[in-house]
Chain A
Amino acid sequence: QVQLQESGPGLVKPSETLSLTCTVSGGSISSYYWNWIRQPPGKGLEWIGYIYYSGSTNYNPSLKSRVTISVDTSKNQFSLKLSSVTAADTAVYYCASGERWWDYWGQGTLVTVSS
């Protein structure tokens, strides 16, 4: 059973870079697609982007200029960096596996953007 776990700071200052890591256990990251999805408090879901284990990426154009997703196969981890954050980036951030739909999800981590 594949399990995913997000980790990273829960508070980020405006204009700084949000950094999160997702650790995959129970399976190898060296296959499949690995995604980040977010959900502002009380609102709907937004796909941020994915990375294939080989390193190829696909980002949501609405965030593309600020997003970087990377993978570390040696650690079975993939990461999200979102630059120049504002209060609008406050959300629960989920990592999930899959190319077109997502069958395994992390529990989510709340990131608040505030000074």
Chain B
Amino acid sequence: DIQMTQSPSSLSASVGDRVTITCRASQSIINYLNWYQQKPGKAPKLLIYPASSLQSGVPSRFSGSGSGTDFTLTISSLQPEDFATYYCQQSYSKPLTFGPGTKVDIK
């Protein structure tokens, strides 16, 4: 199985901050990396696939980059509704696996 790690595991930020979350795969996954946002009590929401395409309806302040083993999710200007947990997920090979998540909360 491909193992996914994320850093940091949590961060505190203010509205308007630029936020960067990193995801690393245990082997090359080309660009088969997706990002989700999850708020408490809700299902995950697809943000980015694969690696850099913005899902329809997702604000342009979200962007994804990377290839191979290292990937980044960037929120250019954090908004109040962005406080949530963010998960990366590899779709290169089965079983499909997730990172452990990064919780973004209010400073």
Contacts and interface: CB of A to CB of B under 8 A. Distances in A.
Contacts of A62: 95
Contact of A46 (B44, B45, B50, B98): B98
Size class of B's contact patch?
A: 20 to 34
Given A62-B95, A100-B50, A44 B100 contact: yes
B15 interface: no
Contacts of A47: 95-98
Interface of chain A: mostly helix, strand, loop or mixed: loop
A44 B98 contact: yes
Interface of A: 44-47, 58, 60-62, 94, 96, 100-103, 105-108
Given A46-B98, A100-B91, A105-B45, 10 more contacts: A44-B99, A60-B96, A61-B95, A62-B95, A96-B43, A100-B49, A100-B50, A101-B50, A101-B91, A103-B55
